[in-house]
Amino acid sequence: MSPEEQVAELSRGVVDFVSAKDLLERLKLGRPLKVKVGFDPTRPDLHLGHTVVMSKMRQFQELGHEVIFVVGDFTASIGDPSGKNKTRPPLTREEILEGAKSYAEQAFKILDPDKTVVKHNSSWLGGMNFADVVRLAGKYTLARMMERQDFKNRWDEGSSISLHELLYPLAQGHDSVVLECDVEMGGTDQLFNLMVGRDLMKESGLPPQIVMTVPILEGINARMLDGKVVGDKMSKSLDNYVGVSEPATEQVGKLMSLADGVMWRYYELLSATSGADQKALREACERGEASPKDAKMALAVEIAARFHGAEAGQAAKEAWEKQFSRKEVPDEMPTFVLHASGLIAALVTSQLASSNSDARRKIEQGAVEVDGERIRDPKASLAGGSHVLRAGRHYARVTLGS
């Protein structure tokens, strides 16, 4: 691609861009850019929300640029308060190392390991002495630091702010100085930290890094409202996620539950297909020349194949079509014996709901079937004998015992 085409492609799905003009100028220099993204290994499992920035990293790799995967094994020990209303407790060294190992294993399902440079920021931050830290702190003012929204909110609320939290953006910014990167990316909640890195590079006499942020991906239960995607961010705690390590059948099933309008946001943020191809597909669906369900399946299979291989992606498609398109009950499903006839208790016992309130919510939302019949009454009971329960994409066979 030409520099102009690269900027157009890399801009797709980006929220903050400081700036596209600067990126174009550096691309015109004709050398590979150094693109940095830092990851604090604070959680062992990744979901698609985490992979949004990784997909953008992969785009840079495919355009011939150098991606630097910074493992924040030092900064994770501080605890990044970004987006938090209170101090996040720092992790132990053992937790950090275990998270880093799991993170890398899953991340390389997206990134090309042969084109990725992995750096641990403990290799430069860990060697700094107290005088080095004081000099680094002297490059930024408290007033500037308090411009950060989460710090400001906590200050106004009278909540505590530990001094070590003020050092986190400086430590992350120092990473950029050491690596002399051209571009740094992160989620929208990282904008302040990325801009600090830009400022520190100026202070050090380096060309300031270009800053790009990507959206926080909404969960699979998001909906369209007045032409906009609305809903909570993807989160395991909200049970609206698609896990990177989940089976391909689970990934396809969850993605097929997306609202049609939400599907295009997932295409934009997660798919490797070009913006032009996505636009053509969307317009074809709007004209009735293509099926939104087929478009959704193509996205689901692409993502499942990314993590499990093409054969697994195709098998997951066939399993979904058997189960849902042709309304066939799976050949195998878990079996449970019930000692109470209430439908809510049956859903919890058969592990189709995590709690009584979760079971009640699923029934009221019309997500529960008994022997193929949709049930919307939370007070419903099961007759004696064996029944097939369905909650969303999951099935269980239950028998009412004595």
Residue extents of the structural domains in the chain: 3-214, 223-325, 335-400
Q: Tell me which fold the domain 3-214 belongs to.
A: Rossmann fold (3.40.50)
Q: Is the pLDDT of residue 204 over 70?
A: yes
Top-tier CATH class for 223-325? mainly alpha
The residue with greater pLDDT, 173 or 340, is 173
The pLDDT of residue 80: 56
Q: For residue 373, what are the β-bridge partners?
A: 370
Average pLDDT over residues 236-243: 81
Give the pTM.
0.69
Contact between 366 and 374 under an 8 Å Cβ cutoff? The reply is yes
The pLDDT of residue 4: 95
**Angle subtended at Cα 106 by Cα 212 and Cα 32, rounded to the nearest 5 degrees:** 40
Among residues of the chain, what percentage have pLDDT more than 90? 49
Average pLDDT over residues 23-45: 87
- Max mean pLDDT range (68-77, 288-297, 325-334, 364-373): 288-297
The pLDDT of residue 401: 65
Judged by average pLDDT, the poorest of 131-145, 173-187, 272-286, 326-340 is 326-340
40 alpha-carbon distance from chain centroid = 14
The C-alpha atoms of residue 285 and residue 402 are separated, in whole angstroms, by: 53
Contact between 229 and 262 under an 8 Å Cβ cutoff? The reply is yes
The C-alpha atoms of residue 194 and residue 197 are separated, in whole angstroms, by: 5
Q: What is the secondary structure of 105-170 as a DSSP string?
A: HHHTTTS-GGGEEEEETHHHHTT--HHHHHHHHTTS-HHHHTTSHHHHHHHHHT----HHHHHHHH
Name the 3-class secondary structure at 88: coil
Average confidence score pLDDT of the chain? 87
Top-tier CATH class for 335-400? alpha beta
Question: Where are the alpha helices (H) located in 309-337, listed in sequence order?
Answer: 310-320
Model confidence pLDDT, tens digit, residues 38-94? 887 766 678 899 899 988 999 999 999 999 999 888 887 776 555 454 445 566 778
The C-alpha atoms of residue 144 and residue 156 are separated, in whole angstroms, by: 16
The pLDDT of residue 253: 87
The C-alpha atoms of residue 210 and residue 26 are separated, in whole angstroms, by: 10
Name the 3-class secondary structure at 14: coil
Among residues of the chain, what percentage have pLDDT more than 70? 94
Average pLDDT over residues 23-28: 95
